Amino acid sequence: MKGPAAILLAGGVGSRLNILVRHRAKPAVPFGGIYRIIDFTLSNIGNSEMTSVAVLTQYKPLSLMDHIGDGSSWDLSGRSRSVKIFPPKTGEEDWDWYKGTADAVRQNLSFVVSAESDEIMILSGDHVYHMDYRRMVSFHREKKARVTIAAIPVPWEETYQFGTAVTDDSNRIVSWEEKSPRARSNLASMGIYVFDRKYLIDLLEESKEDDFGHHIIPRALEEKVVFAYPFDGYWRDVGTVQAYWDANMDLLDPSSGIDPGSWRTMTNISAREPAFDRPPVLVSSGARVVRSILSPGCTVEGHVENCVLSPGVAVERGAFVRDSIIMHDCRIGEGARVERCIFDKEVVVGAHTTVGIGDPKTVNRTHPEHLYSGLTIIGKQSIIPGDITIGTNCIINPMLGSRSFTGEVGSGTTITGA
């Protein structure tokens, strides 16, 4: 029996990632040094030998589209394999930007109708995990389900962020709550669905409802045809600053379960910013690197500890960098100190500047729901002058010059440049 076609939802704004999505879609955010977030789902698709994929984009899609290219990096190009990128139909009469996950699929229902598959998989482009989708499809067929939802237990205090399911002994879902503040189950939806293709067409044609979790799944439950596929591997929704930082730090912990290498996670090495067309890593005599990932082209003359460094990062003599994510081509000046930070691409930190030191309990005053644990974010291409101090839970907007800083930046501050 032919395998399923896949629809990969990659259009979310991702506002909880704050300035990391100022100039890119959430699935295009760099991750783990050489990857982007969407690489994990695309690699799962390729490794599961799926051959037909539709990627639905919407918010600032250009870098994402450039990264995906023709899909060949994930073995998704050729006579019998394809990845098609569907931009939003904004501007056409009677169309608008996608109002929800179900509306996104409905607006591209022609792909579902024309698919030469009995099942359609609905996937998200902003989760970090490894899954063989063939096993989930086999489960779906064995249960004679119309809808199957991949599910994983999450901490009870996080259930409000997810759709949660109560199941019977056969894994059939008997009750569903979507992002309830008082969930009755901690078995959470992973945003991975298998639908019988004809059943999905009927559901979307019979209703005008916008979202799978809020609307379509409860409708299917009335017919008692929805099952939960139990998953016990590593999975993380990296839709918040904290979760994104946590997942990157998991890469440095051998016991965490995340392992892109053994997962055969692939990325586009021929895109506009190639990660591998760089010289080897250079660690100078007297420098120290502890429990860190250093990507091609990195040069380290100082101290790097518990960090993820993307290609081209330079840490100059005497600089100290700890517990941080530093993206492509950043430069950290001589004698600077950086702790618990996320730097977007091409940030320059001047000599003897301190970033991320201060009272971690002082939450960001502009976005307290985004930065509250002591992390500081610096936006793409910002230039931080030398000999200043930037505290914790700070946001430095992208593309700011050194004149935007007049002195110490206290913890919880947002610098906009205005």
Cα separation, 4 vs 196, in Å, equals 9
pLDDT of residue 1: 54
| Domains of the chain and CATH, by start | 5-250 (3.90.550.10), 282-415 (2.160.10.10)
pLDDT of residue 94: 44
Between 406 and 174, the higher pLDDT residue: 174
Q: What is the mean pLDDT of residues 54-73?
A: 89
Residue 324's pLDDT band (cuts 50, 70, 90): very high
Q: What is the mean pLDDT of residues 382-396?
A: 97
Residue 274's pLDDT band (cuts 50, 70, 90): low
Residue 95 buriedness (CB in 10 A; 0-12 / 13-18 / 19+): exposed
Give pTM, 2 decimals. Answer: 0.94
Q: Which string of b and e fits 232-269 if b means at least 16 CB within 10 Å? A: eebbbbbbbbebbbebbbbbbeeeeebebeebebbbbe
Q: What is the mean pLDDT of residues 140-155?
A: 96
pLDDT of residue 93: 45
Q: What is the mean pLDDT of residues 136-141?
A: 97
The Cα-based distances of 221 to 118, 176, 185, 190, 324 in angstroms read 20, 8, 16, 18, 44
What is the average pLDDT value for the chain, to the nearest integer?
Answer: 92
User: Is 70 exceeded by the pLDDT of residue 92?
Assistant: no
Q: Which residue has the tokens 């698709």?
A: 45
